[in-house]
Structure 1
Amino acid sequence: MGIIAVRIDERLIHGQVANLWTTKLQASRIMVVDNDIIKNDIQKTALKLAKPAGVNLSILGTKKSSANILAGKYESQRVFLVVKKPETLVQMIEEGVKFDTINVGNMSQKDTTQHLTQSINVTDEDYDAFHKILDAGVKITAQMVPNDDAKDFAGILKDYKK
């Protein structure tokens, strides 16, 4: 099976991901991909504590996760891949990983972001990364929780003023 879902959510593992999404997807593993967190023992410990019981967890950088995926290491599992930023997925795509659909969950508001939806705020860098993902033929949806309707993110992205 391998990767069954990909989500951008800067909170990574929290109530919605740990309970709602993981349960809905029947994920056997959550894979957090982030080049900064792999160097931070406190953040890694927090993610380990936040994961649901009975679900495996991988915390990897982009190169290692891409290599593992391309080598077929997770083919017998149901992997839910979670990243903080779209740039991480661009790196993985450039390393040869293929994605069909990416779901955008929460990207919080900061001084450098533009508000697109109730829970999605993007920077110029995010905007560029989303277009690279779309140009790679990947569908992007916006959906906070499984019971919400998935919205076409390309349409939402058109409201961004660069």
Structure 2
Amino acid sequence: MAIELVRIDDRLIHGQVATTWSRNFNIEQILIIDDKTKGDPVAASVANYAVPADVKVIIFGVAQFGEVIKKTEIKKKTMLLFTNPMDILYLVGQGLKITEVNAGGMRFNGNRKRLSKAVSVTEEENKAFNDLISNGIHINVQMVPKDPRVDYRTLN
């Protein structure tokens, strides 16, 4: 597979993702994997306009992408973009082969515990991160590529 980056960012595509991350990894396509976005034509339209013209954006529902990875090899340099770690954990259970997840944007609110400036988690998200770690997947927290990478286990 040509998955270059697996990122969690609850804002999905915005300036950092569209330019900094996609350029840093020479991304050819961004696959947004999120049920809510899949069902929202306005969000889909905005996502396509936010990226450089040479980067393709495709939006999948979570279960839908689980079926795709069973049948299709990803050949282009790809960023998988999620809003939460539970969806990644589900897809790992469906056969998604990854070694690392970048957590870069999980906003704070009253139901979340702040772990860093950019990452706040619910109990369910924290459990999913720890389950991913138990599956041998490294979780790093990093807003932009120039920031230091912080091991999630040191924040938890």
TM-score > 0.5 by shorter chain = yes
Partner of 2:77: 78
Partner of 2:56: 56
**SS across alignment from 1:146:** coil
Partner of 1:112: 111
The Cα RMSD (Å) is: 1.2
Partner of 1:67: 67
Tell me which amino acid in the other structure corresponds to 1:59: I
Tell me which amino acid in the other structure corresponds to 2:57: L
TM-score, L = length of structure 1 = 0.92
**SS across alignment from 1:36:** helix
How big is the shift at 1:94? 1.3
Partner of 2:123: 124
TM-score, L = length of structure 2 = 0.95
Pairwise mapping of residues 2-151 of structure 1 onto structure 2 (< 5 A)? 2-75=2-75, 77-151=76-150
How big is the shift at 1:98? 1.4
CA distance in 1, matches of 2:7, 2:105: 9
Q: Which runs of 5+ in 1 are unaligned?
A: 158-162
Given the alignment of the two structures, is residue 154 of structure 1 paired with residue 153 of structure 2, yes or no?
yes
**Residue deviations 1:82-105 (CA, integer Å, cap 9, x gap):** 101111101111111111000010
CA distance in 1, matches of 2:125, 2:53: 33
CA distance in 2, matches of 1:69, 1:16: 26
Tell me which amino acid in the other structure corresponds to 1:4: E
How big is the shift at 1:63? 2.1
How big is the shift at 1:71? 2.6
**Residue deviations 1:27-86 (CA, integer Å, cap 9, x gap):** 0000100011111111111111112211011100122223323333322x0001110111
Number of residue pairs matched by the alignment: 156
Contact in 2 for aligned 1:44/1:59 (Cα 8 Å): yes
Tell me which amino acid in the other structure corresponds to 2:146: N
Tell me which amino acid in the other structure corresponds to 2:34: D
How big is the shift at 1:110? 1.1
CA distance in 2, matches of 1:42, 1:17: 19
**SS across alignment from 2:105:** coil
CA distance in 2, matches of 1:123, 1:63: 22
Q: Which runs of 5+ in 2 are unaligned?
A: none
Give the ranges of 4+ consecutive aligned residues of structure 1 lying more than 2 Å apart after TM superposition.
66-73
Contact in 2 for aligned 1:24/1:146 (Cα 8 Å): yes
